[in-house]
Chains A and B, each alone.
Chain A
Amino acid sequence: DPKIIQKPKYLVAVTGSEKILICEQYLGHNAMYWYRQSAKKPLEFMFSYSYQKLMDNQTASSRFQPQSSKKNHLDLQITALKPDDSATYFCASSQDRNNQAPLFGEGTRLSVL
């Protein structure tokens, strides 16, 4: 059974629309992350949360907003979608200790037309 659940697996959106990517983890981890990967760019860090608090944000655009309603939940809201946002978005989690490697979910593949 997958321990990090991302929904949906595939998503097609029109330019200018808004979408929410869902992530839940059942590993008891305290830290959660969002990464993005596309053909044009390597795996790119976006956000990190610890105990539902934003710890690091490397996303320049305010169109990307993480939302944490529960400790094991970190959604990603993307507004005013652009074709350049097309990518696979990975959620990851780890224990909140320095030497813990993030464990990745299976990703949401987003295509913006």
Chain B
Amino acid sequence: QQKVQQSPESLIVPEGGMASLNCTSSDRNVDYFWWYRQHSGKSPKMLMSIFSNGEKEEGRFTVHLNKASLHTSLHIRDSQPSDSALYLCAASKIGGYKVVFGSGTRLLVSP
């Protein structure tokens, strides 16, 4: 069964610091990865996608993907209190109709 594992479960970083979140898929057929952010009481919102090996940067957010190890990571630099949220990693296969989510990393940015 396709599974997405995230670590750590929770993370506290100081305001202005760097947050690093990890995600690995157990299914070798996975081709697409996304990172979502979910603030408390809200629905998940897609932050970034990555489909190829390497790195992608959008503002303070950088994602990496290593397809050989099916590992992706999200890095948030200059973290802000408003970044405090549940970060979800999602993955799917080519031709699949199921996007599977990990259990998330709960990030707290302390002022």
Seen from chain A, the residues whose Cβ lies within 8 Å of a Cβ on chain B are 31, 33, 35, 42-45, 48, 50, 55-56, 58, 90, 98-99, 101-107
Total interface residues on B, CB under 8 Å, equals 25
* Interface set, chain B 8-49, CB cutoff 8 A to A: 31-32, 34, 36, 42-46, 49
CB <8 Å contact, A104 and B44: yes
**Given contacts A42-B103, A45-B101, A90-B43, are A98 and B95 in contact (CB under 8 A)?**
yes
- Cβ of B39 to closest chain A Cβ, rounded Å: 12
B96 close to A (CB within 8 Å): yes
Residue B61 is within 8 A (CB to CB) of chain A in the complex = no
CB distance from B95 to the nearest CB of A (A): 7
- Given the complex of chains A and B, what is the CA–CA distance between A103 and B31 in angstroms? 19
Taken together as a complex, chains A and B put the C-alpha atoms of A50 and B98 apart, in Å, by: 11
Residues of B within 8 A of A50 (CB): 97
Contact of B101 among A42, A56, A99, A106 (CB under 8 A): A42
Most buried by A among B36, B92, B99, B102: B99
- Top 4 A-B residue pairs of the complex, sorted by shortest distance between their CB atoms: A55-B97, A42-B103, A48-B97, A104-B43
A31 touches B46 (CB 8 A): no
Closest A residue by C-beta to B102: A42
* B99 and A101 contact, CB distance less than 8 A: yes
**B98 contacts A43, CB within 8 Å?**
no
CB of B68 closer than 8 Å to a CB of A: no
Q: Could you say which residues of chain B place their CB within 8 Å of the CB of A43?
A: 44, 88, 101, 104
Which chain B positions have C-beta within 8 A of A58?
A: 98
Whether A99 lies near B44 (C-beta < 8 A) is no
